[in-house]
Structure 1
Amino acid sequence: MVECFPKAKSFFGVVQRIYTLFSSSIKRWKVFQDKVAGLTIKPLSHIHWESHVESVKAIKEQIVHIRDALLDIAEVAEDSKTKSYAETLALYDLESFEFLLGMTIWYNLLWAINIMSKFIQSEDMDIDIAINLLQGLDQFLDEFREEGFVSAMNEAIQMASEMGIESKFREKCIIRRKKQFDESGNDDVIQLAEESFRIEYFLFIID
């Protein structure tokens, strides 16, 4: 899924870059530990799927402190490349409402899938329980498809408020079509970026 969906690849690319920036220097890792007292960020692994949910959770639950740590690194950076790298992550990526919304959606999905995955891989896996869990996961996905976007939006809006940023999309997607005979107004029908995100990102992932 991640490799075949460019927006997902971009999202997890940010997650990995945050880890890489902090972990590639003892000094920068110390900044992280001083600013972020809770969960430790982790690298993504193509082998261990659980690493994805752990990585996203660490950022989601501590995003304000992680942003502050990135800005601290930018202030003391010894070279312009590291300064620019840290500022971009802090002020462009983490302060993007699309990123916050995507992170909320991914966390909910990864959390549900990870529970199923861990049980299936356990040594004492019972086939009847596994079937029940799969049915439960299927039901969760159906319900999340119908109601998950609204709840994710509300959570992302709350997160944006805590970060002191606007809860709006940076761009709008415009779809043009011919006006029907019984319609009034302009020929152009504007689809807000929120709806575009719901269809092209949220529903794409679920489906």
Structure 2
Amino acid sequence: MKGKHQGVQSRLLETNPRALFMPCACHSLNLTLSDLAKSCSKAITFFGVVKIIYILFSSSTKRWRLLLDHVPKMTVKSLCNTRWESQIKSVHAFRYQAPELRKALL
């Protein structure tokens, strides 16, 4: 935990005031991309549609089976708010099997 006031960072600084905290570059990039996606209206709309389609299929086993019948190689996945790579994984079905996904929706 890197909490500035109650986490490991603050405890280390109590022990050694000269300790230097360096945030992880990959995690910082993930947070930056997540914030960027939240500020783009097209990205908000796109990921909103992905989330709605996931909710539609995952809320019913019958609909999930229908999805698996039409899109056998991969399925839609839920979105994570902070992990950019999980959002990429969740759109694979949309990118690679859009016609099959469309048939499942119809």
What is the TM-score normalised by the length of structure 2? 0.62
2:59 is matched with 24
Q: Which amino acid aligns with 1:45?
A: C
Q: Which residue of 1 aligns with 2:68?
A: 33
Give the percent of matched residue pairs that are identical in Structure 1 and Structure 2.
46
Alignment match, 1:13: 48
Deviation track 1:83-137 (CA, whole Å, cap 9, x = no partner) reads: xxxxxxxxxxxxxxxxxxxxxxxxxxxxxxxxxxxxxxxxxxxxxxxxxxxxxxx
CA distance in 2 between counterparts of 1:56 and 1:18 reads: 11
Q: Is the 2:93–2:101 contact (alpha carbons within 8 Å) kept by the matching residues of 1? A: no
Matched AA of 1:67: R
What is the rounded CA distance, in whole Å, between the counterparts of 2:74 and 2:103 in structure 1?
15
The whole-number CA distance in structure 2 between the counterparts of 1:41 and 1:31 is: 12
1:48 CA displacement: 2.5
Alignment of 1:107-146 (within 5 A): none
**Matching residue of 2:91:** 56
Cα distance between partner residues in 2 of 1:11 and 1:40 = 17
User: 1:47 is matched by which residue type in structure 2?
Assistant: T
1:150-189 to 2 correspondence within 5 Å? Answer: none
Asked if structure 1 preserves the Cα contact closer than 8 Å seen for 2:79 and 2:86, the reply is yes
Q: In structure 1, what is the Cα distance between the partners aligned to 2:66 and 2:86? A: 23
**Distance in 2 between the 1:21 and 1:45 partners?**
17
Return the TM-score normalized by structure 1.
Answer: 0.33
Once the 2 structures are TM-superposed, how far is the Cα of residue 9 of structure 1 from its aligned partner? Answer: 0.4
Q: CA RMSD for the aligned pairs?
A: 1.1
Q: Which runs of 5+ in 2 are unaligned?
A: 1-35
Structure with the greater relative contact order (CA < 8 A, sep ≥ 6): 1 or 2? 2
Instruction: State how many pairs are aligned.
Output: 71
Tell me, yes or no, if structure 1 residue 46 matches structure 2 residue 81: yes
